[in-house]
Every structure is written in structure tokens, then in C-alpha cells.
Structure 1
């Protein structure tokens, strides 16, 4: 039975770039990560850096780390370009690169990148299947449901094809991640929510999640910052649906209604303290580490920490204080 198993920490990740500095200014801190006990560094791709360049830099600065994208969207690049980017990164860090892909959101795909956000499940599935074939160096000519490819072949296929993980927030995508990919990546969930997600993918599928962490005892500041972060995410349809599935639909409805009406102040006020406490790790370093362990005990195999500047503790101090070596 899922949940009866005692999970152990096999991996301990960090998000790069760090929130307080450019990637070009992060060399020393990235190089320090393996000695602190971190095993992974994961990038994201929204409206800051792209998903690949920070990992390419980290590959040279800390060659012990596994490197992953969490995530790059499947609809902001063509399939061939995505394959080339992934193959290049796999060549830079052979056996150490994980390609995390996902459907993303209409804002990122359509409003920011002039793409088309249609059939997100099918587009993600088709891209996964295309990449599996392309990474072998085989020529791909295929009519998929959401796109077609004719005669594409990587000139430089990676010697070690990367593992591919899927961003997955609800059962259908979670089942695809478990059945056809190498793992699932999720976001904005509580330790208890991990059990719900884990039940959909079984015990043996890797599950990674970014955990936003504020190492501070200034609760008021955390609540203010947390509400702003949560309102920006949980009004996005895919995340609203995710939390509806997790059981927070009624709790979050007043916030979502106020946001839709354009009343941002009311939307922020409508987010209960308990939701912030559920979804953001905060407190002193020991409290934060204990909370992260709750996620792991409930089935999270790869916590990916994202330390947020929120008080007197600097990001480098938080990175060191949250590390396995600090326990």
C-alpha cells in the first residue's frame, strides 16, 4: 500500500539561478553545493533565464551534480529544436542530465511566446514520444496527433540519452509520467498532498517537486510574500484545477473570484493563513528541514528547494542551512 512505505532521502536538489543573483554571479555557491550534500540542481523556464544555459554553466562548476529542467514547455520550441537543446545538454553532462518537460500555461505559450496552447496532454505525450526516438539518433518521420515531423535526425545524438520527466498535476498526466516517462515533476503542494500524487504513480516512479522555502521566523512577512506568490500561481487554470483535485477548491474560490473580478487586494486577503502554511516551508532552518523531511516521508523522492529571500537570512546562508550536511 502506498503510504505504508518509509521513504528515504536519495536526492536533495536546489533551484538555480538563485533568487538573489544572476547566474553569472553564482559560480562559487554552485561549486559549494556537492560538499553541502546537494545532489541536484534544477532550472525553470518562465520569464527569467531559459532552462538550459544555467545547467550548462553548473555542469562545469559542479560536475558531481545531476542537472534537470523543471520544466521547459513543449509548445514554446519546435520538437526538433527541443531535441537539439536537450541533446546538447546531455552531451555537456553525460548521464547527469534530466529533461523535464510540460504543457506550461496559456499565458507563457500564447501571450508571451506567440505559440498555440491546444490539447496540452496530447502535445506533451507526443513530444515525449518524439524525443524518445530522436534521442537515439534515429530519423523521425511521424504524424503525431498534435504535430508532424518529417525526416528529422540529430546530427549529434547524445551517447547517453537523458531521462525525461513530465510536469504532472492531475491523474491523467501523472499516469502518463508513470507509464511512459522516467518520473513526474509537480509544484505547489503540501506534505499531505504528496500522498495523493504518489497514489497515482505507484511507489517506483521518481517524484520531484519544487519547494519554496523562507528561512525566517517573521511570520507576517511570510504571509504577505506567500499570498502574493500563491495568488500569481493558483489563479492559473491548470493550478486551480490541481488544487480543486487536491481538495482546496472551496477554500480558494473566494480568492479566484476576486482575482477574476480584478480586485487584487481582495484576492490576496482571501487566501487563508493555513493555505500559506500548507504550501510554503518557513520557520528557522531546523523547522524548515523537518518540514522538508515530511514531504520525503510521504513519498517525495526529489525535493528541489527554492530558498526565497524573506528576512535576515541571506540566500547563501539559507542554502547552507537547509543542506543535508547541516542536519
Structure 2
């Protein structure tokens, strides 16, 4: 049986009250870490508060809490609360998110994201250690052990920041092969820096059905400026140029049609549960220490929770 960490993204489309019975099932299946996200479902902290009490031995992490949507003092208080509820089990993942989330949805100017992340990490380090910050802020209940801080990172500048100023990086929307190129930038800050990656997967017996749905998703993500530049840097510019050109011309159908099957199979994990588990191991082989699985409900004939349990079983046996 494999003993390496295996994380999963919650809430998985399941209501929070149902987590009281779901999360213990997932622990029994082999997941030992639960990570939240923060887009348009729940905030990054609420699902973890419940998880801290439902699965008292599991590790918890935010992937990620946005540094633009909250002031640094509020973010420090959020983190301190979870660190007290789950001592030595909580990891604070932060990041700049995207212009859509920050500016269009929250009305906050999306300016100088690298600087904002750097200043936020510096503030959080000091605040969670109980120090008094400029302006007079000091946590009244700093955690006994400050949680590790990870930074969501794509390109070299943020990857190096994650390795030098934070405790490691959270990766996103990349292939298993891309990991080997990305990790060395983080490890410039030291070989002990943590590498967490969200891995998007959809177990299925009908890969063509899933690929068709996945192409719509990828067309939307790969045209976001941050991800577009990330994949340009990774060497996919020629392959993605037709997608970008059609999208910016307003032809969404053509953009989706320009996403080829090979690209889907690189960036998403698709196949039987056994094949998915084997694919996840490629991420680990290339340098990911904690794969955090994010199950996508792209095959209407499947049950996400059942698939999550089966993938974990194959991963642990492998």
C-alpha cells in the first residue's frame, strides 16, 4: 500500500451538511488531506472548518485563499482560526486569483499581483508569529504553531517567490510532464520546499464524451491572461494560438473546436479509475509531493464520490 499523501478538493458538489458522513468515507478510502478552493461556490475556509472537526486527523489546506479579496489582517485572522481548530494540520495556500474573480466579481483593482502576494506573505508570516505589524495590528490569538504558507504560482517570478519567501508552491492546470520544468524554480529556495498540485480528473468509460465537455472548459481557462501566458511559457503557443484568436474574435464555438484531443489528455486525467490513478502517479514521479485531486462531473453517467473512492483504492494499491 502506498503511504504518500493524497489530497482531494472539497466540497465535490456535495452539500456541507453531507460532509459529516462523506469525509470519513474518503479518509477510509485513502485520502489524508482535504483542500478547498475559492471561485464561486464557497469561500476557502468554511468547508475546512467543518472538516477539521469531522476528520480530526486529516490535513487541511486552502488552494487558494485570495489576497486581493481580503485585507491581510482578515486573512491572518481566518488562518489563525483554522490553525487553532486544526493545530499542526492546516496549510495556508494563498494567491492572486484572476482579474475576473478579483476585479469583475469583487470590484477590487487587479494591480501588481506579484507585489500584492509578496507583501501579503510577509504580513502573514509576521502576524501568525504574533508580531505587531505597521499600523498597529497584532493577532490577539496567534496560533501556537504558525501554519506553513504556500503560494499559487505559474511562471518563474511567482514560482521563485513561492520558494524563497513562502514554504512552497501550489500548481494548477499543468500536465504531469510540465511539473519537471516548473519545480526547479521553486526549489531554488531550498530542496525542502513543498510542491502541491491540483490535478483535474474525470474517470470514465466514455473518454470521447468527457473530452467534448472538457474542451469547453479548457477553452475558457486557457484564454484567461494568466493561464495563457503560463502555457505560452511552457511552449504551447503555436498549439493555442487558434484558440486565442477565435476566442478574442468572439467565436466561442471555433475556440472550443480548436482544442485538440491531445491537449485535453495532457491537462486533464481521463480514463478508467485505474488509469487515472496511474496518471496521477506521473505527477508525483515528476516532483509533486501532494497531488490534490479535483473530480470534474463531465460524465453524467458517473457518480463523483464513487469514482473518488475507486481512484484512491487503485492509487493506494499501486
TM-score by length of 2: 0.95
Correspondence 1:10 to 2:41: no
Matched residues in 2 for 1:269 and 1:204: separation? 42
Structure 2 equivalent of residue 182 of structure 1:
167
Q: Distance in 2 between matches of 1:321 and 1:261?
A: 42
Residue correspondences, number: 311
Q: CA deviation at 1:311?
A: 4.3
Structure 1 unaligned regions, length at least 5? 1-7, 142-149
- Give the Å deviation of 1:82: 0.8
Gaps of 5+ in 2: none
* Mapping of residues 37-186 of structure 1, within 5 Å: 37-141=30-134, 150-186=135-171
Contact 1:68 1:97 in 2 (8 A): yes
Q: Give the C-alpha shift of residue 325 in structure 1.
A: 3.8
Per-residue CA deviations over 1:147-191 (Å, capped at 9, x if unaligned) read xxx000111111121110000001111111111111100111111
Q: Please give the per-residue CA displacement for 1:278-304, whole angstroms capped at 9, x wherever unaligned.
A: 011011111101100111111111100
Q: Partners in 1 of 2:27 and 2:206 — Cα distance? A: 30
Report the TM-score when normalising by structure 1.
0.92
Tell me how far apart the structure 2 counterparts of residues 32 and 112 of structure 1 sit (CA, whole Å): 35
User: Within 5 A, what are the aligned runs for 1:256-271?
Assistant: 256-271=244-259
Superposition RMSD on alpha carbons, in Å?
1.3
> Is structure 2 residue 219 aligned with structure 1 residue 236?
no
CA distance in 1, matches of 2:40, 2:50: 19
For 1:124 and 1:12, the matched residues in 2 are separated by 27
Instruction: Determine helix, strand or coil for the equivalent of 2:195.
Output: strand
Q: Deviations over 1:8-60 (max 9, x none)?
A: 963110000113x2222222121122222212100000111000000011111
> Within 2, Cα distance between the matches of 1:259 and 1:114?
24
* Distance in structure 2 (CA, Å) of the matches to 1:297 and 1:264: 36
Residue 221 of structure 1 pairs with residue 221 of structure 2: no
CA distance in 2, matches of 1:34, 1:316: 12
SS at match of 2:302: coil
**Residue 116 (structure 1) shift:** 1.5
- 1:313 Cα shift? 2.8
- Choose from 291, 303, 309 the match for 1:320: 309
Q: 1:9 to 1:326 in 2, by over 3 A?
A: closer
- Which of residues 159, 169, 181 in structure 2 aligns to 1:196? 181
CA displacement at 1:316 relative to structure 2? 1.4
Q: Secondary structure at the match of 1:26?
A: helix
